[in-house]
Structure 1
Amino acid sequence: AGTHDSFLEAGEFVATVEKRAGLMIGCVEEIAYRNGWIDRERLLHFAKRYSKTDYGKYLKTLAEESVHAL
């Protein structure tokens, strides 16, 4: 079992990596989308559901980037 400090350190590590890399760690919708398990429309559905959060904005950006990559 971890200590309070180790959990805090882990959270800070994840936040730092996400900020520097511009990626979300453990974003299940992104994983599903990149593996072809959900389509762009479904990804946008989730983006809309979480639209008031950074998570939703990230999903929307991901969906928009895929359109520009085509």
Structure 2
Amino acid sequence: MNETEQLQSLIIHIAQKLWTDKYALHKFLEVVARNDAFTELADALQRANTPPTTAAFLSRQRKSPA
């Protein structure tokens, strides 16, 4: 697992923990989105209707129709 994958996994883990506190989740994802490398992940997490369950979340979001 490379550094980017580790950071994505950490971001997803934190999003899982913050899921019920929508305000805190939104603020966290705003910070994440400031980094161009993680903007897509932050956007996908904000659009999600259910909390992410695994690091495979991002790959599933990429396959979903917009």
TM-score, normalised on structure 2? 0.41
Q: Which has the higher contact order (CA 8 A, sep 6+)?
A: 2
Of structures 1 and 2, the larger Rg is shown by 1
